[in-house]
Amino acid sequence: IGKNCRSGSVSVPELFRVESYPNVHHLVSTIQGELAEGRDPINLLFDAFPGGSITGAPKKRAMQIIDELEATERSIYCGSMFYLDTAGHMDSSITIRTLLANSGTISCWGGGGIVAESTAQGEYLESVTKIRNLLKCLESYFLP
């Protein structure tokens, strides 16, 4: 966000806080700054996404590799949802565990970050674990 913020205004008031959920843990950081003159929240949003936790690093090359290797579009998966109010406040999130209903079809996605120590079985199990609660919600609704 640095290129969109006033010099010296970027701070990280919360770094690597653990949020625990029934089947996953997330590291969460809060990064904030004051927008520079001539910049707006939309500039910031476009420059910040996709998030580095989604693409890997270095971001531009990682995105090229993802584009080369993935045969299908991700749709809303790993995209962003955000709100922007009339006072200029904005908040956003990455859509990693999200259900999408469209024309009678419900879709969900799961994935993990590939690192040197990754195994195919481990990544598969991580992906299934991440969507397990979404599938339970659907089962409870559709299967009496």
* pLDDT mean for each 10 residues of the chain (144 residues): 93 95 85 92 83 84 92 88 85 86 90 87 91 89 80
H or E segment at 102?
Answer: strand 100-102
Report the distance separating Cα 142 and Cα 138, nearest Å. 6
Report the distance separating Cα 123 and Cα 110, nearest Å. 10
In sequence order, which residues have a C-beta less than 8 Å from that of residue 82 and are 6 or more positions away? Answer: 45, 90, 91, 92, 93
- Model confidence, pTM: 0.69
Report the distance separating Cα 56 and Cα 61, nearest Å. 9
